Structure 1
Amino acid sequence: MKLPLISVPIVEIPLEKTVRLFLKREDLVHPEISGNKYWKLFNNVNQYLEKLAPEKKIITFGGAYSNHIFTISAVGKIYKISTLGIIRGEELREKWKDNFTLKKASDNGMKFCFVSRADYRDKENLTKKLQEEFPDALIIPEGGSNELAVEGIQHMLTNDTKEFDYLCSAVGTGGTLAGISRSAAEKQKVLGFKVVEDSSLENQIFKWSGKKNFELISAGFGSYGKITDENIRFINDFNDKFGILLDPIYTGKMMQKLFEMIDDNYFESGSKILAFHTGGLQGIEGANAMLRNKKREEIRF
């Protein structure tokens, strides 16, 4: 049994504008292995499942509210593979059960190793030690971006996506945008909405993609993981109007910035814009717990 090829719908977001906006619902690709994570893991996991190993194990890295950590735990549960999450922050060792994402990952069977932020930054050394300790394990980088992941993203582009002038995606580690850039048609412009300020992103994306058909646009609205009251209002209004829930870290911020750009006439009249909903909805409950503690408005779902 392997991860299968799955198609998802493209829906139009009705706007009274001179451009047309559509959303490709990658959040619907799988109930637990959601969005771009599915396609990033598609080649990594399927090739690993073909290998003969005494005991299969997947090891990866992430923070307290990582969609990637949860997704890997779900893969492990579904395909009966043991999983180990290297979690940033030793302080979480005593209170991880209060964290919605880590609790769900644990329920899926994932084991954790909590490391200091200093050790976590040296992932090259961590990876080397882990590979020596677990020689048969599949070690996937934080966020899931590697060459096989970039190749897997090609499945997000189909015959139905060729008609669009712009292809838009949120950007974290850059693997998804690189895959879209690599597979985009010659006439298409690729827009990446950065939710983290990282000066190395453009070079990394070009290294994976081999093309310069993309533009990076800041959509962080503050530091990575920060959720502003404006973000929350936009996500709730979007869901009320269009019946589509957005996550607060990636797609919600991308769509908020995209709406601003449309209002500012960034796009030529008649343009057809396709944005990718990259999932991550499991993180909303954790985000709401944080917002509740601060007595702020929550995301309705």
Structure 2
Amino acid sequence: MTTATAEQTAGSLARARRRESVARFWRQYRTQRSGVYGLAGLLLIAVVALAAPLLVGGDVQSVTKAPGTALEDPSGRFPLGTDQFGRSVLALLIWGARISLTVGLLAAALSVAIGTLVGIIAGHFGGWFATVLMRVTDWFLVMPTLVLAIVLATVLDHSVWTVILAIGVTAWPITARLVRAQTIAVESRPYIERARALGGGHGHVMTRHVLPNVVPLVLAQTTLGISNAILTEATLAFLGLGDPTVISWGGMLQDAREAGAVSSGHFWYLAPPGIAIALVALSFTLCGRAVEAVLNPKLGVGR
């Protein structure tokens, strides 16, 4: 057998193992009823968000082209009423899903990426360098995430990218702690010693052996982190620290407060974005718990 044929065979076997691993994960995931419900909810919301331009058009944010009058009651034309500018609350709700989901996904990805990098480096190298990294992690851990995010969002420009950065750089310590502990556990196994004895350097050990073993933990942490990121984005927008030029669910809550929806009894303006935030956060949490249960059967089954 030639070298090229051997490499092709090895690649085919690796792809077959990955396909089997994904299929096994899905079979086990389907046994988690709460996770299936959460995934179904997320898929529905994602489809609505992606199809928003087709469902509500591109002028939904325009104040000058508002189709109704200020704070109309729910009707056949406006199922959830209108806002203080005469825009359809239902259309705003559908359009706002795009920003809220985007911010949640990107902020959680940034947070998990930072936490994974810090955790693997600290767990692999150890010594005084790891001690310094963990003390920095502890400082971020004891500081309220929301307070740090508010400070960053206040200092920087009010934009979607500022919100993503503010959430991402303040929510990574928990991931770093978990990944560091998993890295230390992985590097105590015999095959790591064999890899080092065969000449594997730091980069080889961390990327080829440690990283694949912490990916399941990172995946579960990501699904849980997205719900927290969406809630934090909504809080920042509600406090007026979001981008005022875009529509998000948190921004809708801020607009409803400014319009006096609470005191005037216009519940149809205030309730929909709050319920949407709660449902998305619940769906991501259910998916995250289901992933944890699949990857760690000791957590229990049949959730």
Same fold (TM over 0.5): no
Q: TM-score range, shorter-chain basis?
A: under 0.3
Q: TM-score, structure 2 length as denominator?
A: 0.26
- Highest relative contact order (Cα 8 Å, sep 6+), 1 or 2? 2
Q: Which structure: greater strand fraction? A: 1
Q: Which has the larger radius of gyration?
A: 2
Structure 1 length-normalised TM? 0.26
